[in-house]
């Protein structure tokens, strides 16, 4: 019996899985947008350019067999067979992760509009949505003006007792580097390693229109229908969630204004800490 147990303890599955840690870099332009300005009566009077890391949407990152430079207007992961003319081929990622994800931010109007790792506190969220022309409101349409009111709603919704339990509040993922760009650390666990594989990703930029603000703060990778719903007396919260195939079929989510990997990051060692540059902006053409 001792001999058998010793043999089992030495068994190796030889699964080539690696936990990668790396850096994703977004150019300053990816966090720079035109936002509305207002006159003394509160009406939109024009626009101004601001640079703010809160304007960085969810970042999706994957490891792939290679990069395809001919099928799309931007670098795209190599695809498997196209079985339906209306659907691109599956990119079959070896592994994937994100830097920031959608989190339900306690009010129904914020479903799929708040990304983790972007807001330091409740007032930070309220300030951001006022900045883009979509003040946070409750079910009755009343604007939330105090962070303490917001905190109370989140504690009620999540049965929480501290801000550490609220995942969209806390340390920010992206910091400004010496070049004025924004970078963040990413962790891609349990990734099948193949020498020469490509690391690639994209950032889903929030829709922002300085003159017509009704859809500001929305994202292409949001799925509100068929997502988790929470009944609460006579109200129902629809929480929203990411689409499930963002890394398998990224072209279905990438739209004009999004930032895409340059296709120049290839991993040759399981010990590498790769840097992925999302420096290509898709203009829709």
Among residues 120, 165, 171, which one has the least CA distance to residue 147? 120
CA dist 260 and 202 (Å) reads: 4
In this prediction, residue 1 has a pLDDT band, given cuts at 50, 70 and 90, of low
Q: What is the pLDDT of residue 232?
A: 81
Rg of the chain over Cα atoms, rounded to whole angstroms, equals 21
Whether the per-residue pLDDT at 7 is higher than 60: the answer is no
**C-alpha dihedral, 75 to 113 to 155 to 141, nearest 10°:** 180
Whether the per-residue pLDDT at 4 is higher than 60: the answer is no
In this prediction, residue 11 has a pLDDT band, given cuts at 50, 70 and 90, of low
Among residues 244, 212, 230, 253, which one has the least CA distance to residue 111? 230
DSSP string, 247-260: TTSGGGT--TT-EE
Query: What integer is the mean pLDDT of 145-152?
Result: 98
pLDDT 10s digits, 82-117:
888 889 999 999 999 999 999 999 999 999 999 999
Token pair belonging to 112: 């799929």
Estimate the crossing angle of helix 147-158 against helix 122-131, to 10 degrees: 110
CA dist 205 and 31 (Å) reads: 9
pLDDT 10s digits, 165-209:
999 999 999 999 999 999 999 999 999 999 999 999 999 999 999
Cβ contact 61:126 at 8 Å: no
Whether the per-residue pLDDT at 78 is higher than 80: the answer is yes
Whether the per-residue pLDDT at 158 is higher than 80: the answer is yes
In this prediction, residue 135 has a pLDDT band, given cuts at 50, 70 and 90, of very high
Give CA angle at 105 (104, 110), nearest 5°.
Answer: 85
Whether the per-residue pLDDT at 139 is higher than 80: the answer is yes
Q: What is the pLDDT of residue 239?
A: 85
Hey, is 150 helix, strand or coil?
A: helix
CA dist 15 and 163 (Å) reads: 39
CA dist 20 and 22 (Å) reads: 6
Cβ contact 264:276 at 8 Å: no
Q: What is the mean pLDDT of the chain?
A: 93
């Amino acid at each position: 019996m001792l001999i058998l147990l010793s043999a089992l303890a030495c068994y190796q599955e030889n699964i080539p899985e690696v936990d990668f840690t790396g850096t994703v870099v977004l150019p300053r332009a990816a966090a720079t947008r035109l936002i509305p300005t207002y006159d003394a009566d509160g009406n939109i009077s024009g626009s101004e350019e601001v640079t703010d890391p809160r304007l960085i949407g969810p970042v999706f990152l994957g490891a792939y067999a290679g990069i395809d430079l001919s099928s799309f207007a931007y670098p795209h992961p190599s695809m498997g067979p196209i079985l339906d003319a209306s659907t691109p081929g599956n990119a079959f990622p070896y592994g994937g992760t994100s830097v920031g994800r959608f989190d339900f931010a306690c009010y129904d109007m914020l479903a799929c509009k708040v990304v983790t790792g972007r807001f330091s506190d409740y007032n930070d969220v309220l300030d951001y949505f006022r900045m883009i022309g979509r003040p946070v409101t409750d079910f009755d349409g009343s604007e939330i003006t105090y962070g303490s009111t917001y905190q109370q709603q989140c504690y009620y919704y999540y049965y929480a007792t501290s801000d550490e339990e609220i995942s969209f509040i806390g340390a920010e993922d992206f910091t400004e580097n010496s070049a004025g760009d924004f970078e963040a650390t990413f962790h891609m666990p349990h990734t099948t390693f193949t020498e020469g594989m490509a690391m690639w990703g994209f950032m889903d930029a929030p829709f922002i229109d300085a003159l017509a603000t009704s859809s500001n703060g929305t994202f292409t990778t949001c799925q509100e229908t068929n997502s988790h719903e929470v009944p609460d007396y006579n109200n129902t919260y629809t929480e929203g969630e990411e689409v499930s195939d963002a890394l398998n079929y990224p072209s279905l989510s990438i739209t004009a204004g999004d930032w895409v990997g340059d296709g120049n990051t290839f991993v040759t060692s399981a010990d590498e800490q790769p840097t992925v540059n999302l420096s290509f902006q898709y203009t829709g053409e």
